[in-house]
Amino acid sequence: GLPERAAVISIATSLQESKLENLGHLGDANDHDSLGLFQQRPSSGWGTPEQITDPEYSTLAFLKGLKQVDGWQDMPLTEAAQTVQVSAYPDAYAQWEQQATDIVAHNWNS
């Protein structure tokens, strides 16, 4: 029930966080306890490790967070993604916007 822009923000975020790979625990290479497509953290309340590594659950959790951001529809992608993700590298999401837009445009009504 969300507009196409929500999908673009979600895909760009996941491209930055995991390159669209559903990552499990990576040992010392992990950022704290980050897992899954969005590198969500159980210790930050995103869900259990099993939930976070379920692509449907993690995507819906991200979208739920996005919907709670006032004015997300009109924000730059980086600002919307950063408000949900609270990343150490907030500007990094911008590099994925065109690729995410292309992916969503190709698949939106498929």
Spell out the per-residue pLDDT of the chain, length 110, in tens.
899 999 999 999 999 999 999 987 666 655 578 899 999 999 999 999 999 999 999 999 999 999 999 999 999 999 999 999 998 888 999 999 999 999 999 999 86
Domain that holds residue 17: 4-106
pTM score, two decimals?
0.90
Burial bucket for residue 96 (CB in 10 Å: 0-12, 13-18, 19+): buried
- Residues 63 and 10: their CA atoms lie apart, in Å, by 7
Tally of domains within the chain: 1
